[in-house]
Every structure is written in structure tokens, then in C-alpha cells.
A and B are shown apart, each in its own frame.
Chain A
């Protein structure tokens, strides 16, 4: 990966000091010749390849940046490494293995070795089969939440990582950290994309 682009796309460029370890590992990873272009701290290279490919398919680059442009995969790896319990980390490994096992059963190969049309078929099937999130209020979901499958859970994390990245938050969504006033009812066209979180 080109180092300049890595920096530009990292979303960590103007980050605080505590974001530096991520930046450093990103730079270091540029030296190694892995097919990922970055060095995971939790995932194995195969797992990371699966995750990168999945988030790229869910949120591809268009005229706006895609998941990989803002390092959604790198961030997911970091979140799992730093904030998951050992038990949840193991579950993530098991889930990825089961996901790839499913691909093998249906199409004879693990996810990242499948052709694009087969990978699309896998995601379409997962969209149908995975349970959905209950709505939440005040930081918790309401009612009894059915267990969320690997795919939808990853999709939710990818969306969160994407919209909370600095590049998307500042340049794609409508960034307004100090609104100053509340306007209760305005045309949506006056704002454009939704407000940054």
C-alpha cells in the first residue's frame, strides 16, 4: 500500500495521541508484503481477508469512500483485540470458521476464494437467514432480542465503524459538532446527508 494514501485514508491522520498505535501498525504493515496491506492484531491473515472482503462488499467505494478506504476492517480488528473478552474473541473465530465452512459446503471453497457471483449469493442468503435487531431506546434494545448471526452482527459493526470514522464524519455526513440552536422542522434538502453522530 502506498504510504501516503494509507495515511490519507486512515481516518487517523488528525487523531489524538492515543490513536497513534493504530497509525504506527498501519505504517509498519506497509513494509510487509502481505496481501492485506495491514497487519492484524487479532485476526489471522485468512480471517482478516474474509472480513476485509465482506465489509468491502457491504460498503464498497462509489463516489464516496468505501469501508476499506476508511479502514473499517483495521478498526474492527482493533476493537476485537482491545475490547472483546477472551470468550467473545473465541466466538468471533468460531463464527468466521463456521461462515467459511458454510461457503465450502455450498460452493466448495472458502469465502475469499469464491467468484463474485457466488459471494453475492452467500451474502443474499445471509441477509435472509440472519435475525434482525430489535429497536433500542436509551442505550438498550427493547424486548427479547433473538440471537444475531455472524453476518448481521458484522454488518452492524461495519456500518458503525464507517459512520464514526473521521473522514465520513467530517466530509461525507453533515458535521455540526456545535449546532448552537435547535430547529425543529426544516426541509431535509437543507441538510443533505444525515447529521454526524
Chain B
């Protein structure tokens, strides 16, 4: 297995520094190292080496003392993140310490963080969809936010480029609102999903139910193994079957010989030299020794996650940038978005009791957006749209059965009833007043300012959610399901874990933070290519777009560097 060079002591100067090693930081590191730049990746947490550092990857439920349950100590350490419902004994070690890293919720907001090498690329949902011009033109068309400085044609080759490396499985369908990726073979729908698909597509022309497109390998790819259908992904995959920085981009970066990755490096700020009028490096605090260290480089990629990156920029104050680096527009920290979450319908499916499946497929179904994609599909109830994820499976909750005793016990050993659900993800408009700001009252364990989060879903998102639930119930009814329950958990932002914006791209330095190549308008050797750069939120999962935008920006960075433009 790769041995990473973690010794940044002997060298304080690099060609490039990448802040963060999650999904976009991993890509920045791979691209910059691959193009010959001596690159330092600063990671605030520990090294997590692929396979070696996945201690729970092969555990069965009975192998842990509480069979997956977490202790009061873990509850306390992750007191904010536990609201997600995702944390168990098997994954708790990949979630950040909420006590050491506090944040303040002016309005409720779940900020899920993963402070280790690989970041949330170890934990993500792995749903991967291209955005379309429906998304890139949305702001320009309805006037919310500012116009994206790029269009689909600008990013299309980079989607192909990252997909060929990452490995995306799915089925090509030619839908204009959800462009096809460069696909590995799709996973299969089970019999109930096929049944529901047929009924929905027959009763609702223009709506499609497809297998999820995802960053799971369905065939061996680039030296990584294919999915074994264990569905134990969040613990790290021993086969490298899902895309993560740990399994894919960082080993590739390391193979170039140009990578140094420094763990326990909390970036305090970027260093702006008022005389040279440029960013010259990065100031860190060693998380273990609390030592302050400065590293310098020609270019800096900021990939600390949407809010992490903005926090660093806000904290990077100089004479030139009194309100945070690159904040001439006053938009830094603003226009925070997420997708709405857990709103939809669930029901039971009859007639398939003699059918089952083998394998725990780590993927579900997807229903692409069908509102506001053409003149015919326009609604005046809300702007933009939503898509659904979901799936069919044999489940049920035996505890609800009004029975106990011998027959009851035998019944719980059999596969339960077929259930099927869909849950929508609605696009969130960019609102200036959905924002984060530096909090100098609440400090973290290292005495650094923290973030105050102040964001909410507004009327448009609520109207979309209403439609999500109505349509979901309608579709499940038409599909012949029984005991249908519509639901809206009314989760505040953050639960979708698709936070985007706060350092948006745009044409105009007066209204945006980054240009069309993700360069800070007034500090062109600084690139922000994670979710912070997003100008709108689409209704489509964003990670694939972060990958493509990062590869594109890295290519531009090296080209500009070679031309001595930055």
C-alpha cells in the first residue's frame, strides 16, 4: 500500500498547496501532482490510508459490543451530527468532534463534517449526476442570484474526464435535463422497482424511473475492484469499489512522487502580501502541538468543504481585504443553499411475496426532474424543480404486528413485506440573507473563530416540497401501492448534506467572489473549487460537478502558471 509522504518539516515551499483532501481536494491534488507540481495537501485531521485504516469494514452486527449502537460519550462528542441518523459504532470514527469544533445555529442547520484524510468522500451517498444547461442558465432566466459564468459546454469535457477515472455506473437515456455520463454498466432494478417504473411511466408521460447513477464500480476499473454488494460503504470499502479520495485520487497523486500530505494541519488563513499584492502562502496551526507554521506556494486550491473554505477566506484578513480574502463584493458567506430532504411518500407493494433478491445493492432509484423543463411542464406554483431518490425492498417493522409467540417469531425470520418509497430533493434558490459569518465569541479548541449559520428554506422551497409530497402520493397510488403515507419531515437546511454557495462564481467581481475558472477575482492564484463556488444549487446531487469543476480549474491553473499569468 502507498506510503504517504507526511513530512512537511524539511520543506516549507511548494508549487501548489491544496487545503483539504475530500472529494474536490483529492481531485485538485491528483491533477496538480499529475501535471508535475510539487503539491502540499493540508489535512486538518489524521491520515486514513485506504483499507488499512478502515477498522470496521468487515464487522458483523454481533462483532461490536452494542451491535452498532453508540455510547453516551459518542452521543456527546457528535451531539450535532447525531441528528442526521447516520452515525453508528461502525462509522462514528469518521465524523468530526462537535465539541472541539463548535458552530452556532442562529437558525437550525445541520453541518456534517468529517475531519480526516478523505473527508466526506468516505461517507458520501455516491449518487452522481451531470448538471445541464437547465441548471447553468436558471439564474439568468428567472433572475435569482447571479448568472453562472459557465455553461454545460464548458464543463462537459471535464465531466467525461473525471467519470472515466472515477467510474460511474448508470444507464444512458438521452434525457436533456439529466445528461448521460460516460457509464460503466448500470446496476439492476429489482422486480418491484421495475413494476413501479412501468406503472409510473405509463400513467405519467414525461416522468422516468431509472436506476441510480452512482460512483460504485460494477466492473473492475483502473485497478479498483467491483462492488461486492455488502452495503457497508460508510466504513470504507476494502475493494475500493466506491470512489473516494482515499481509494482513487490520493493514491494517484501519490504515485506521481509530487505529493506531500500533512495531517493535523488546521488552516488558519491565507497569507496576503500587501506589497506583492498576491497570496503567498498559508498559515496553519498544528492540531497536536498548537504550533503556528507558514507554508508558501505559487497557487493555492481551497477545498476545505463549502463552509470550511468560506470560513478560511473570512478569517484571512489583510489591509487589502479587511472583510475576508476576495470579499470585495460583500457576497462572501452569502447565498448558502442545500437541497430539501425527507419529503415524499412510502407504501406497500402486493403481489410479489414469492420474489426476493440477493445482495445489498448500495444504490436506489432516481426520478429525474419533470417540472419546469419545457413550456408544457411549466408550473406557476414554484420556480425550478426537484428529483426523487428511493427504492423498493422487503422490510416492514415486525414490532408493529399485533402478535407475539411461536408463530410470530417464525414470521420475523421470513422476508418482510415489499415496501417502496420516494423522497424528493428540491432546488434551493440563492438568497443573499442565507449566510454564514465569523463568530469571534465562540472559539474552537485551538482558539480560532467559528461560524454562525443563519439560513432557512423559504416560500419557493416550501411550495416545491408540497408538490413533492402530492406527486409522490399520486405516483404511488397510480402504481397500485397500498397503505401509502405521504410525509414531510420539514428538515432545516444541512440535512441534505449538499451545502453549496457562500463564495459564488460569477462574471462580475462586484457581485461574485470567483471567476469562471474558480479564481478569486482579486487574487488570481487562489482557486476555490468545492461546493462554496456554486452559483445555484440545481436539484441534482453536486459532487460530480465539484470533481469536474476542480479538474477544469486545475488545468487552467497550470496553464496560467506556465504562461506566468499568475
Contacts and interface: CB of A to CB of B under 8 A. Distances in A.
B174 interface: no
Contacts of A15: 62-63
B65 A19 contact: yes
A155 B413 contact: no
B213 to A, nearest CB: 16
B60 A186 contact: no
Interface of B is mostly: loop
A83 B66 contact: yes
Contacts of B488: 143
B403 A127 contact: yes
Contact of B70 (A83, A164, A181): A83
A181 B399 contact: no
Interface in B82-125: 84-86
Contact of A152 (B394, B399, B409): B399
Interface stretch (B6-14, B277-285, B353-361): B353-361
Interface stretch (B185-193, B460-468, B513-521, B540-548): B185-193
B419 interface: yes
Contact of B357 (A78, A143, A159, A186): A186
Contact of B229 (A143, A181, A185, A187): A181
A195 B354 CA distance: 15
B445 interface: no
Interface string B450-475: 00000000000000000000000000
Contacts of B61: 164, 169, 197
A180 B218 CA distance: 11
Contact of B421 (A128, A137, A165): A137
B85 A58 contact: no
B71 A176 contact: no
Interface residues of A, number: 69
A194 B413 contact: yes
A127 B555 CA distance: 64
Interface residues of B, number: 64
Contacts of A196: 60
Contact of A185 (B68, B191, B415): B191
B333 to A, nearest CB: 29
Contact of B413 (A64, A143, A156, A185): A64
B52 interface: no
B64 interface: yes
Given A79-B66, A143-B485, A169-B62, A138 B342 contact: yes
Interface in B290-335: none
A18 B67 CA distance: 11
A5 interface: no
A41 to B, nearest CB: 12
B64 A184 contact: no
Contacts of B405: 57-58, 60
Interface string B384-425: 000000000010011110111110111011111001010100
B187 A194 contact: no
Contacts of A190: 356
Contacts of B408: 58-59
Nearest to B400: A132
A178 interface: yes
Contacts of B359: 176, 179-183
Contacts of B176: none
Contacts of A183: 357-359
A75 B70 CA distance: 14
A14 to B, nearest CB: 9
Interface in A10-66: 11, 15-16, 18-19, 21-22, 57-60, 62, 64, 66
Interface in B410-451: 410, 412-416, 419, 421, 423
A62 B409 CA distance: 9
A62 B408 CA distance: 11
B364 to A, nearest CB: 10
A107 interface: no
B489 interface: yes
Contacts of B69: 79, 83
Nearest to A157: B399
Contacts of A161: 67
B399 A156 contact: yes
Contact of A179 (B85, B346, B360): B360
9 contacts: A18-B65, A83-B69, A134-B485, A135-B419, A142-B342, A142-B485, A172-B413, A191-B356, A191-B415
Interface of B: 58, 60-72, 75, 84-86, 187-191, 194, 227-230, 342, 346, 353-361, 394, 397-400, 402-406, 408-410, 412-416, 419, 421, 423, 485, 487-489
5 shortest A-B CB distances, which residue pairs? Answer: A139-B85, A156-B399, A182-B359, A179-B359, A164-B61
